[in-house]
Amino acid sequence: MKKDQVFAAQTEKSAADFAKSLGKVLQKNGFIISNESTMDMARAFQAHGAGVAPGFDLHMIQICKPDKAAKSLGANPERAILMPKFVMVFTRDGKTQIRFLSYSEEDIRGVVEDDVFPGSLAETYTKIRAMIEEAR
């Protein structure tokens, strides 16, 4: 894994407030949070009877652009392996941390045999990073 594939930042906002801000930026750009009701992992774990440590604060935000995803997967369902895009937001040492994992065009080509998808997905990763920055 190349270090530049992990986007790491922090924000003064709480995890929940950052998620709300990101949701607004995503919507403005035609994206959605596809797991909005389950992205708060403390609530999700507790709903299934799992205890979490006091102060546990992790939001796993799944990003999707439905119109683009539908066309892309309709053209080649093999692309689905790389379609889930998650932004992780958590609190560490009193600060809200943001992480996003992306892959290079070269890595994408190694996973999915497709002429168009690697470039398109790499552009989407760049757009997501820009939207994260805007929401911070």
Q: What is the pLDDT of residue 1?
A: 56
The count of structural domains within the chain is 1
Output the domain CATH number for residue 124: 3.30.310.70
9-67 pLDDT per residue, tens: 999 999 999 999 999 999 999 999 999 999 999 999 999 999 999 989 999 999 999 99
Q: What domain range is 31 assigned to?
A: 3-135
For the whole model, what pTM was predicted? 0.91
What's the pLDDT band for 122 if we cut at 50, 70, 90? Answer: very high
Signed CA dihedral, 119, 134, 55, 37: sign only = negative
Per 3-state DSSP, the chain is made up of helix, strand and coil in percentages (nearest 5) of 50, 25, 30
